[in-house]
Amino acid sequence: MIMINKKISRSRFIKKTAAGAAFINLGTLGVTAARIKYSPGSERIQLKEAGPMIPPVPAILLTVNGLEEGKDEISVVWTFVVEGKPPQIGISVADYHVAQKMIEKHGEFVLNVPVESIVEEFDRVDMNSGKIADKFKLSGLTRVKASKVSAPAIKESPIHVECKVTQTIVAPPQRKIFIADVLATTVLENVCDENGRLMVDNTPFFGMTSGSGEFYIMGRKVGYIGKSIGRTDIKY
C-alpha cells in the first residue's frame, strides 16, 4: 500500500512512488465506469486519411486588434497549454487567416472561452471572414476591453485569457505557431470558487471532437488529477 504524505511536492512524491503508482488501476479506486456504451472490436483499422483525431480539442475564440484602427478580428483557434506555472499557451494560426498578421503586429491577443449559449455565434465566427466585414457585427458578439493587454475581448465569454506572444514558430506548409505568456485571466462571477478553482458544473464550455467536427459540453466527472494516489489538491 502506498502511504500518502500530502506535504511533499507532487514531483517528489512521484519519484518516491513511481513504480507502485504506475500500476494502480483507476477502476479499483471507485472512479465511476463510463456510461457511454464502449465496445470496440479487437481489429485496428488504418483510416484512409491521417488526421489529428485527438478529441476533444479546445477550440477557443481569439480576439486581436486589427491592422487598422477599428478592424479587430475574432477567429476560432485550436489551443494547447505549454506550461501551467508560469502560465504559457500556444496557438496555431493559418497564413491565409487575417488574424496571423494582426498577432504579429500587436504581439497580444485574448483567448475567450466559448460556452453553450454562444455556440451559434461561435460558428458564425468560423463561417464568416474578416476579409468581408467586421466579425463582431457578423457574429453578434460584444466587444469589451481586456484588463492587461490592448487586444479586445468578448463580453459573452466567461473566461478571458490575456496573452502576450514570446515566440513565433513557422510551421510549413501554412501555419505559424505563437507561444505566449498569460498575463491575466479574468472570469465572470460564479465561474470560479473563492480559491480560483473552475466550477465546471456552472460553466457549459465545450470542446470540438477532432475526428467528427462536433461541439460537446462536458458530461460527467470520471476522475481527477491525483485520484490514483489519494490527492485532491492538484489544480493545473
Ligand X SMILES: Cc1cc2nc3c(=O)[nH]c(=O)nc-3n(C[C@H](O)[C@H](O)[C@H](O)COP(=O)(O)O)c2cc1C
Q: Can you tell me the distance from the alpha carbon of 121 to that of 146, in angstroms, rounded to the nearest whole number?
A: 20
Q: In this structure, are strands 206-209 and 214-217 parallel, antiparallel, or unpaired?
A: antiparallel
| Near ligand X by CB under 6 A: residue from 76, 82, 119, 179 | 76
3-state secondary structure of 85: coil
Give Rg (Cα) of the chain. 20
Q: Residue 229, interface with ligand X (CB under 6 A)?
A: no
The amino acid sitting at 167 is Q
Contact criterion met (CB below 8 Å) for 102 and 64: yes
| Near ligand X by CB under 6 A: residue from 58, 82, 88, 129 | 129
Q: Residue 98, interface with ligand X (CB under 6 A)?
A: yes
Q: Residue 118, interface with ligand X (CB under 6 A)?
A: no
Q: Identify which range of 5-13, 31-39, 111-119, 127-135 contacts ligand X by CB under 6 A.
A: 127-135
Q: Which is nearer to ligand X, 166 or 212 (CB)?
A: 212
The amino acid sitting at 149 is V
The three three-digit cell numbers of residue 85, written as one number: 506555472
Q: Which residues, numbered 45-74, are part of the site for ligand X (CB under 6 A)? A: 59
CB 124, min distance to ligand X, A: 9
Q: Can you tell me the distance from the alpha carbon of 224 to that of 29, in angstroms, rounded to the nearest whole number?
A: 12
Q: Residue 209, interface with ligand X (CB under 6 A)?
A: no
The amino acid sitting at 64 is V
Contact criterion met (CB below 8 Å) for 145 and 160: no
| Near ligand X by CB under 6 A: residue from 6, 15, 105, 131 | 131
Site string for ligand X, 12-31 (x = CB under 6 A): --------------------
Total residues interacting with ligand X, rule: CB under 6 A: 17
Maximum distance among all alpha carbons in the chain? 63
Footprint of ligand X (CB under 6 A): 59, 75-78, 92-94, 97-99, 125-126, 129-131, 208
